[in-house]
Amino acid sequence: MWRRALAPFAEGIARALWLETPKRGRVESLSTPLTQTRKREAKDISATVKPELIPSAPNICGICGMNIATACKYCRTCATTIRRENVIKASRLGRLETHKPDAQARRSETQRRQQAARKNWKSESLPDWLDEKFYREQIQPKLPRLQVRVIQFELCVSEPYALRIRQGLCIPHARHWEKLARITKCNVRESQSTSRASSSTPY
């Protein structure tokens, strides 16, 4: 880069010194090994001529025609509309996928497995301290700290159902309470301390 930048100055200084010498008549002109100016002149190529720059076409939005950045395809307003339409299309495709025979067969198998688990579960296996009140007061407030996939894996439920449990939109079946108490680290001590606090009356 420096060689190309300094070459014209070096040859200009050499030409100025050559003009000052009395023996300059012996040579018609100096050679130009740095800039190759004489070779270009022999081929009728001007060293000062620069290639014409063709301006690039402006990038416009594919919907409204507004000028936008080069890396973009749509303007902000149209991009929002396109994203909304893509979400609607994706939801429609998702609904179609859920109504296919294989999807319905998987849902039926899941329902049969859940019904069998409810039938085999005995309410006597639940600890005395673990009731709906304990679930609402001790377990449910701690569920937002858990990841949805943890609840889904521990309870063997679907992701949407695990999300509803985590958000407190529904109370899961009682057979799940003990596992949720374990992963949220709730135990009978908290139940006893809560009951003592509620029974004590301040003076």
Q: Encode the chain in three state secondary structure.
A: CHHHHHHHHHHHHHHHHHHHCCCHHHCCCCCCCCCCHHHHHHCCCCCCCCCCCCCCCCCECCCCCCECCCCCCCCHHHHHHHHHHHHHHHHHHHHHHHCCHHHHHHHHHHHHHHHHHHHHCCHHHCCCCCCHHHHHHHHHHHHHHCCHHHHHHHHCCCHHHHHHHHHCCCCCCHHHHHHHHHHCCCCHHHHHHHHHHHHCCCC
What is the extent of the structural domain holding 6?
Answer: 2-42
Task: Say if residue 65's pLDDT is above 60.
Answer: yes
What span, in angstroms and rounded, lies between the C-alpha atoms of 60 and 51?
A: 27
Q: What is the CA radius of gyration of the chain?
A: 41
Specify the pLDDT at position 166: 92
Assigned domain for 71 exists: no
15 in any annotated domain: yes
In a domain, 156, yes or no: yes
* Contact indicator for 104, 141 with CB cutoff of 8 Å: no
Measure the CA–CA gap between 3 and 13, rounded to whole angstroms: 15
CA 82 to chain centre: 18
Cβ-Cβ contacts under 8 Å for 10 (sequence gap 6 or more): 34
Q: Is the pTM of this model over 0.75?
A: no
Structure tokens at 160: 């949407």
In this structure, is residue 51 part of a structural domain? Answer: no
**Does residue 140 lie in a domain region?**
yes
Total count of domains within the chain? 2
Asked whether residue 162 is domain-assigned, the answer is: yes
pLDDT above 90 covers what percent of the chain?
A: 12
User: Average of pLDDT values for 1-25?
Assistant: 70
Q: Is 126 exposed, middle or buried (0-12, 13-18, 19+ CB in 10 A)?
A: middle
Q: Is residue 54 part of a domain?
A: no
Tell me the mean pLDDT in the region 6-11.
Answer: 73
Whether pLDDT at 197 is above 70: no
Q: What is the mean pLDDT of the chain?
A: 77
Residue 203 clears pLDDT 50, i.e. is over it: no
pLDDT of residue 54: 59
Does residue 105 form part of some domain?
no
